[in-house]
Structures are given as structure tokens and as C-alpha cells.
Amino acid sequence: MAGVSHDTSGTGSPIQRLRAVGTGLLLAIVAFLVGIVASVLALGLLQGVGVVLTQDDWRLYALQTVGLQGVGFGLTSLLFLKLQDRFDIINVRLPTRNDVKLAVFGVFGLLAVVLVLSALYTQFDVQLPETTLPGVIERQPDTALYLIPFTILFVAPGEELLARGVIQGRLKDAYPPIAAIVLASVVFTLGHVGNLVATPLGRALPYFAQLFVLSLVLGWLYERSENLLVVVFVHAVYNCITFLSQYAAATAP
């Protein structure tokens, strides 16, 4: 990974390394559980006042986004930083001209990764498993448009604060940057297991492989830019492009 620092100042003892990995995994698990609880409670409150959300209702996915990425990932990350007094591991500042260049490069980089992997999967007849949301968008195309504000406000900031800001930042206490990026990407990928909980591992592997590679790019961008806003922007734009492409496919004559 060109451009990633090889500074070994973050190299810790075996115990420190194990603790850093354990902290990252525990944070991911806690964040996921908090998000699930928040989503279930919100859904229960809505049902209590007579609002029933069906599987094809875009509001169900908006609620899950706010609960999981907003409350679960975002709140858990902020509580960890506050309780551990570790806001020092988060790099956030006003974007510079170089940040803008990196952001543009990052968006095209993620799209290029998806195109390359798609070509490889097609070449070797590898099928990506279907997740729930694309099917909903195919039946209800407007869902993609409704969810764009939620991916900008909750998904990208919540996931990047946890994965890159907190977990990758915490891992750098004990690991060199490249190792921290790889390990944070593993945790990020595992955090999406719920998307394919009923899918056999063999069929799910291509999906997780794609997520892992995309996460490596985001981790590299964070290390290179030293600005969480860059990766949040890139993640948000990538998700928006994905939703718009799904909407275009669903509404094509």
C-alpha cells in the first residue's frame, strides 16, 4: 500500500496487541447489540401507536439505519472515547485541497474495486448472494431515493467513526499502520455478517471479500489523509451512487 506510513511507533507487546484486537472486537459486538436493541425498541414504540412497518416499507430501513449505525455505532463510539478519554485517536479537521483530491481518488477507487471484482466474479461464474434491501428496491424503487439522506447522515458517519476512527485508531496503539488497517477491515467486514445471517458461508464469502477490499481502501484513505471527514465523504458518496444505480436499474423500461 503505497503512501501508508511504515512508522513502527505503534508496535506494542503481544499483550498490548491482543488487548487492542479484543477491544476492537468487543466494541463492534457492543455497537451491533446496542443498535439492534435501539431498532427493536423504536419499532415497538411505533407499533404501540399503531404504525406497522412492512418488509417493503422504506421507513423500516430508515429506522434500522438510525438505530444501528446512528445509535449503535455512533453512540457506542462516542461513549468509548469519552469513558476512555481517547479522543486523541480521532483525526478530524477542516478539509484541505489535498483532502479533496484524496476524496475524489477514493470515490473512483472504490468504484474501480467493485468493477474489477465484478469482472472477476463474472469470469469465474461467482454469484454474489442477495441481501434484503436490493430486492426491496427492485419492488419499490423510491426506497433507494428515500434512504440516501439516511446513508449520508447515519450510515457513513456511524460506520467510519467506529471502524476507522475508533477501532483502527485504537489498533494503531499496538500495531504498525498497515496491520491496523487490515485488522480494522476484518472487524468492519465481520460487522456486516448480519446482512447474510441465513446464507451458507461458501455463498457469502464473495460478498465479504468485496467488503474487506473496500474497507482496505477506506482504511488506507484514513491513514493517508489523517482526516475522518475524508472517509465519511467517500463512504457516503459511494453508497449514494450504489442507491442511484439500483434505482436506475429498477426503473429502467
List all residues 6 or more positions away from 38 whose beta carbon is below 8 Å from its beta carbon: 66, 67, 68, 71, 72
Separation between Cα atoms, residue 213 and residue 193, nearest integer Å: 15
What are the sequence ranges of the domains in the chain?
14-251
pLDDT in tens, the chain (253 residues): 344 544 444 678 999 999 999 999 999 999 999 999 999 999 999 999 999 999 999 999 999 999 999 999 999 999 999 999 999 999 999 999 999 999 999 999 999 999 999 999 999 999 988 888 999 999 999 999 999 999 999 999 999 999 999 999 999 999 999 999 999 999 999 888 777 767 787 888 999 999 999 999 999 999 999 999 999 999 999 999 999 999 999 999 9
pLDDT of residue 6: 43
pLDDT of residue 5: 46
pTM of the model: 0.93
pLDDT of residue 4: 54
Q: How far is CA 131 from the centre of its chain?
A: 15
pLDDT of residue 151: 98
pLDDT of residue 2: 40
